[in-house]
Structure 1
Amino acid sequence: MSQSPSPYNGETVALARAFLDAMEAREIDIARSLLAADFTAIYPGRRSFKVLEDLVASGAARYRKVRKTYARTYYVPQDAEGIETVIFSGTLTGEWVDGKVFQDIRFTDQFRIRNGLIVEQQVWNDMGEALLVRSGA
């Protein structure tokens, strides 16, 4: 009895993870090499970025560094438009701009990948809520 092939595509998952690792290390040229020409990153607060340096600058106003701890990875096979989807969820740990540490902030990143390049990243996290709690609001 033969098994049917797994719908899980490790190469596609590795591509999305390589992008996140490069961004965390601020290896912008490596991260850029993984993107389609029409790439868009969508972040909480209706913030949208097409240029990686703009995305990095936006984060720099909030934190000095951030590291992800991955809890789950999901893969959705190619749809009718040829898009594969990878979703990571877990927590963020890092340092605010004033040097104080934060941890256990939830995140979810969703990637849409076409022809081996990332066309879209959507980000959800509790960073805004953590900033509100920090400010005493």
Structure 2
Amino acid sequence: MAGAFYRAVRETTRREVPLLAAGPTTALQAAKALADRLSAERQLQYVIYRNGAWVPAQAWAESATLTMLAVAYNSGTLNRAREAGKVFDGAGGGWTSHQDPDKATGTLRTVEDAAAWPISHPRCGRAFGRRPD
């Protein structure tokens, strides 16, 4: 039952986030609309993480929305950078996770490496762009 519920919430999120974000809204407004929709349609007030933590649906929706938008933004940038071959990484933590000692800030990565790790953690501030040269 928990698995079916989780799949339904993820399906709603995957379907709704792009629609919410495509409108004249900010990411935080889109997240609030997603949380409101999950509350109304799925009676979801909290999301229970694997570690047992209960996270308010609003906070979870905000994290999910910002994460999905960051992945979409970076994926679009990488699609345009295919000719350049390399990209630079914006400010942030480690390459594969926040604690990764391989720090991403200011490094040059291949497009393939960047596509494998468009972000390193939820709410990641990573951004890519084509090298000016």
TM-score past 0.5 threshold: no
Q: Which has the higher helix share?
A: 2
- Using the size of structure 1 for normalisation, the TM-score is 0.31
